[in-house]
Amino acid sequence: MAELSGRALIAARCAKFFKDGDFVNLGIGLPLMCVNYLPEGVDLWLEAEIGIVGCGASPSWDDADPDLIDAGGQPASVIPGGSVHDHANSFAFIRGGHIDAAVLGTLQVDQEGSIANWTIPGKLAPGMGGAMDLCSGVKKIIVATDHCEKSGKSKILKECTLPLTGKNCVTDIVTERCYFEVTPEGLVLREIAPGYTVEDIKACTEADFIVPDEVGIMQA
C-alpha cells in the first residue's frame, strides 16, 4: 500500500485494530472510511445504525444502489450474507454488548478517555444519534479525529469542555499525527506519523501523555 497521510492514514490505522470476524460499528464521516483499508485476511461484520449488518466498501456514486445509503448520506454496499433490519434491532445489538469495537469521530476527547462529539454550544445540533449507546455498550471505543481544530486548537484535552457523550470510555485515539492508547495511568503515545517528532506532538496536544522508551511509526 502506498504511503498515506491525513484522514486516509487515520482510517487505515484504525482498521488495523480489527480482527477477522469482528462485529464493528463505524460512525459517520471519517470512521466510515475504515472499510476501504481493511488488512488482508480480515473480514468484518459491519453494523450500521440505519439497519445493515454486513456493510461493504463504499462504492462511487456511479456504482451506487440508491436504496443503500449510509447514515452520512453516502453510498453503501452489503457483502454476501449481509442483512437489513429495523432500527430497534440495530440498537439491541449495541445495548446488548454484541459489538466488538466502534470507531467514532469527535469534537473533543480528553486524557481520561471521555468524549464529546455531538453538540457545539450556540449551534443547532441534530442530536447525539447512537453515540451515547455505543459509548456505554461497546468495550473498545476508538476515536478517529483530526488532531486539532481548524483554528489550530488541540482537540485532545486535559478535560472536555463540551457536554459529554461518554465518560471514561475511549480506549484508543488515532489522529493524522499520532496514536494514543488510553490507559489507567493516562494517555500513552504509542505511534507517531511519519514527519512528526515527540516534540511536535507535545506542542500540539493540550492533554498530558506518557512517552514510553519506544514509540512506533504509524503505518497503514
Catalytic residues: 49
Residues 6+ away with beta carbon under 8 Å from 24: 18, 44, 45, 46, 47, 99, 100, 101, 102, 103
- The stretches of the chain forming alpha helices (DSSP H) are 6-15, 87-95, 131-137, 198-204
Widest pairwise Cα distance in the chain: 51
Cα radius of gyration rounded to whole Å, the chain: 17
Q: What letter does residue 31 receive in the DSSP assignment?
A: G
What is the C-alpha separation between 11 and 4, in angstroms, rounded?
Answer: 10
